[in-house]
Amino acid sequence: MTALLVKSSDSAPEIAPQADAPARRAHDSLWRAVLRQPGLVLSFAVIALVIAWAFVPEVFASQDPINGVPAERLSAPSAEHWFGTDNLGRDTYARVVHGSALTLQATLVAVLVGIVVGAGVGLIAGFVRGLVEDWLMRVIEVMLAVPGLLLSLAVVTALGFGTINVAIAVGIANIASFARVMRSETLKIGALPYIEASKASGSHWSYTLFAHVLPNARGPVLALTALEFGTAILSVSALSFLGFGAQPPTPEWGALVSGGRDYLATAWWMTTFPGLVIAAVVLSANRIARFLEDR
Amino acid sequence: MTHPPLLSVSGLRVGYRISRTETFRAVHGVDFDIAAGELVSLVGESGSGKSTTAHAVLGLLGERARVEGGSIRFDGAELTRLGDKQWRAIRGARIGFVPQDPAVSLNPTRRIGEQIAQAITLHKGRVPKDALRQRVIDLLAKVGIDRPELRSRQYPHQLSGGMRQRALIATALANDPELIIADEPTSALDVTIQKQILDHIDALRRELGIAILLITHDLGVAGDRSDRIVVLESGRVVESGAPEQILAAPSAAYTRKLLAAVPQVSSGRLVWADGVVREREPGAALPRTREDSAILVATGLRKAFRDSGSGGDVQAVDDVSIAVPRGGTLGMVGESGSGKSTLARIVTRLTDPDAGRVEFDGRDVTALRGKRLRELRRHVQLVYQNPFASLDPRFTIGRTLTEPLRAFGIGDRPARARRVAELLDLVGLPASFAERKPAEMSGGQRQRVAIARALASEPSLVVLDEAVSALDVSVQAQILELLVRVQAELGVSYIFISHDLAVIRQVSDDIVVMRRGRLVEAGTADRVYTTPAVDYTRALLAAVPGGRHPHPRKVLS
């Protein structure tokens, strides 16, 4: 019987049989919850490091990310060049560090556009229902029908070139998936008795929506955010690769990976290290999102 | 007994692993025997270890639980040390299992017949198609399903809850087992269906000589059906014996407490007097809070829902009129699908009726909208059946209780905090609970919070929709006492909705009986329970378990 396993520290007579179950305080401090999980600590460390790179790149990488030393081109990782150098003799590590600001900015904008517009549309559609839902979701379905990259291309052509425009374009392509997840969660939460109980308590619909529905529906959306964070990095870089975003020689993570692709056979480090950094950031974001979801 | 028992459990201990280092002992040394053809009931509240014991006997404890000691002998063989492969030869073949919830225990994408046939082929290997089909139809007929050939080709959603439970019993019977373990087989069913299913299990036992281990929280059911009752408390056997002995002269305090909590159809309404809740003497004066006028009058209510299956309309509420006495309780009885919850939602204005009128406090409120509707909600409140779903898991109890105060602009911040403490006190919870979240509370405590929330805005009418149905019998008794006390102290009126006639009996002044959206009987509680006017009410009353061994009820404290 699963009820047995509900940990509680009640003293009331009706649950006396469970009184010997170990009590767990919910008031555990955030810190203790975090520190008990080494993977989580590592994830926070990775994100903190990358944010620090974005703000003060000079502290972490002293070499010039733009002007290379031609004599040292395509040299393998060494104590001097941790991530090796590229075809123009530029230090890959320095380029990764200096590229983090632009990359983070672009992905954040992309994810924010997706989550704010998408989750907003989904929340309204799921809560208001009726004709509003029908119209909003038909529009979302049209967006889903167009391949994401094609949609981004169309948008960025209209907006003009530049990293932020690329980010906005990627974000718009993400709206549909956020809207659908948010709508389905809102529908699920909206059918629960405590939502009706809130209505029956006389609360205004806006209070019910923002105090009850939104906090309880956000879990899967947060998880999706971490996933989209990863795909956004890749989409932004894909558009950069096509020449819409960061122009060479500006360092940007996605551009670094795609630029190194031509030298994959001779200089594996040019793609591997930036790729590993992207993977580490995406995984860390994922882990943190899961932690936030559980709380 | 000269021959050894079929199943013999002795000194059984089962622990659940909570974390790497902690285990929680759910069963501490349980002993009982079942002889062939015997029906033994395991009785206890949630958390007493009765389901864990049943799962241990079935070898279905799962990853987290482990048998830590003791023995389970089935027909002379020790079960606790069996491997997976040996278990498969026993489980489903020699020991059948009937699960608790028929709604989720059948695969929704496969036909009933296929699912029963699978239970047979799993153990017998390849069986000729015709013989298999015939066997399935025989089984369905045996468990009392009409038109078995048609039913075997239907999917679970096309069957009612009672019929699904019969199909599950047919699955358990598929390989002619010697023992059937039934875990709360009728808890999710209506009282008349429950009686049919239990009658059927009884008949099968007599016909086929199958031993049955019945897990139930309902002493009434156990008393009516068992050869022996084993009472469990916190994983220990506190008492076991014949039902006459356990019900008439219980030796353990826990059994006496359980018995005292079982509501009786024959008892009178509970009243609050001189600081205790007691039964009203027959013919005694009505409680003084009750007045002759009605707080709520509904006339000619109708509501239809579109049936997605047939495309036609289902009349959920069909020309129903009710009146709730001011300061008193209107009890509403009916089985699932009788329209009682729809009616509750109409009178609380959460659903609009197709036709009819709702008058609250002499005012027509049928068409209120917006601000005035919210104002009405201050006076009419609702308590839901499931205390696990009616509280926001992210809100602390204090915040939940503040919500109606905030919504109606009652008091300022310190005044609201005081009111929360007052409300918690009113429903018998310590003020420190304001800091807790629902997950840290038991079902009964949550339901107290739900009642406190309903009372926060000082309503004159509270609608309780199956408010005690999800609770253990002793917790249920506490909540009923709480409701009676609150009514006496605040003079609030109730509409009390339940499928359980015995529960309704305890709190109601007037009763209405609903069936298929219609009101079939209405009257004072004393009249309806002593001289029911229609056959349906009589059938409902006859189906209430606990009739075979009535026990005297004491005054509760």
Neighbours of A35 (CB within 10 A): 11
CA distance, residue A294 to nearest chain B CA (Å): 11
The minimal CB distance from A212 to the residues B49, B392, B436 is found for B392
d(CA B177, CA B172): 8
Cα separations in angstroms, A89 against A81, A99, A263, B134: 10, 17, 13, 81
Element spanning A76, H or E = none
Confidence of residue B549 (pLDDT cuts 50, 70, 90): low
pLDDT digits (tens, 9 = 90+) for A126-146: 998 889 999 999 999 999 999
Burial B81-106 (b: 16+ CB within 10 A, else e): ebeeeeeeebbbbbbbbbbbbbeebb
> How confident is the model at residue A11, as a pLDDT?
37
Q: Is B510 on the interface with A (CB under 8 A)?
A: no
CA distance, residue B472 to nearest chain A CA (Å): 9
Cβ distance of A26 and B26 shorter than 8 Å? no
- Average pLDDT over chain B, rounded to whole? 86
> How confident is the model at residue B309, as a pLDDT?
59
Q: What is the mean pLDDT of residues A65-87?
A: 84
pLDDT digits (tens, 9 = 90+) for B163-179: 888 899 899 988 889 99
How much is the pTM? 0.79
Token reading at A282: 């995406």
Q: What is the mean pLDDT of residues B35-42?
A: 91
> How confident is the model at residue B142, as a pLDDT?
83
Confidence of residue B290 (pLDDT cuts 50, 70, 90): low
- Residue of chain A whose alpha carbon sits nearest to that of B474: A14
Q: What is the mean pLDDT of residues B258-287?
A: 72
The proportion of chain A whose per-residue pLDDT surpasses 70, expressed as a percent, equals 89
> How confident is the model at residue A110, as a pLDDT?
92
> How confident is the model at residue B289, as a pLDDT?
54
**Distance of alpha carbon B156 from the chain centroid:** 22
> How confident is the model at residue B287, as a pLDDT?
55
- Residue of chain A whose alpha carbon sits nearest to that of B458: A201
pLDDT digits (tens, 9 = 90+) for B100-158: 877 788 898 999 999 999 989 988 888 899 999 999 999 998 888 888 888 888 888 88
Q: Is B548 on the interface with A (CB under 8 A)?
A: no
Q: Which residues of B touch A36 (CB under 8 A)?
A: none
d(CA A238, CA A245): 9
Q: What is the mean pLDDT of residues A174-196?
A: 92
The minimal CB distance from B384 to the residues A17, A193, A204 is found for A193
B163 within 8 A of B151, measured Cβ to Cβ: yes
Interface of A with B (CB under 8 A): 1, 3-12, 14-15, 17-18, 20-22, 26, 192-194, 196-204, 207, 211-212, 215-216
> How confident is the model at residue A23, as a pLDDT?
40
| B355-360 and B23-34 beta bridge pairing | unpaired
Confidence of residue A16 (pLDDT cuts 50, 70, 90): very low
Residue A8 in this model has a pLDDT that exceeds 70: no
Token reading at A146: 């167009």
Q: Is B24 on the interface with A (CB under 8 A)?
A: yes
| Residue A98, burial from CB neighbour count under 10 angstroms (0-12, 13-18, 19+) | buried
- Residue of chain A whose alpha carbon sits nearest to that of B56: A1
Confidence of residue B282 (pLDDT cuts 50, 70, 90): low
Q: Determine the 3-state secondary structure of B32 from DSSP.
A: strand
pLDDT digits (tens, 9 = 90+) for B451-486: 999 999 999 999 999 888 878 888 888 889 999 999
Residues 32 to 61 of B: which have CB under 8 A from any A CB?
45-52
pLDDT digits (tens, 9 = 90+) for B185-224: 887 777 888 888 888 888 888 888 899 999 988 888 888 8
- Average pLDDT over chain A, rounded to whole? 82
Query: What is the count of residue pairs from A and B with beta carbons less than 8 Å apart?
Result: 123
- Residue of chain B whose alpha carbon sits nearest to that of A25: B440
> How confident is the model at residue A247, as a pLDDT?
76
The minimal CB distance from B45 to the residues A7, A11, A17 is found for A17
The helix, strand and coil proportions of chain A, stated in percent and rounded to the nearest 5, come to 75, 0, 25
The larger pLDDT score, comparing residue A13 to residue B248, is at B248
Least confident of B5-9, B85-89, B277-281, B468-472: B277-281
> How confident is the model at residue B277, as a pLDDT?
73
> How confident is the model at residue A2, as a pLDDT?
40
Question: Shortest CA distance to B347 belongs to which of B362, B331, B336, B359?
Answer: B359
On whether ipTM exceeds 0.90, the answer is no
Residue B397 in this model has a pLDDT that exceeds 90: yes
Burial B484-509 (b: 16+ CB within 10 A, else e): bbbbbebbbbbbbbbbbbbbbbbbbb
Residues 6 or more apart whose CB falls under 8 angstroms from that of A128 comprise none
pLDDT digits (tens, 9 = 90+) for A234-253: 788 778 777 787 777 888 88
Q: Is B244 on the interface with A (CB under 8 A)?
A: no
Cβ distance of B51 and A1 shorter than 8 Å? yes
Q: Is B234 on the interface with A (CB under 8 A)?
A: yes
Residue type, B266: S
| Residue B112, burial from CB neighbour count under 10 angstroms (0-12, 13-18, 19+) | buried
> How confident is the model at residue A188, as a pLDDT?
92
> How confident is the model at residue B101, as a pLDDT?
78
d(CA B463, CA A171): 48
Residue type, B515: R
DSSP for B165-189 reads: HHHHHHHHHTT--SEEEEESTTTTS
Cβ distance of A5 and B24 shorter than 8 Å? yes
> How confident is the model at residue A28, as a pLDDT?
56
The proportion of chain B whose per-residue pLDDT surpasses 90, expressed as a percent, equals 31
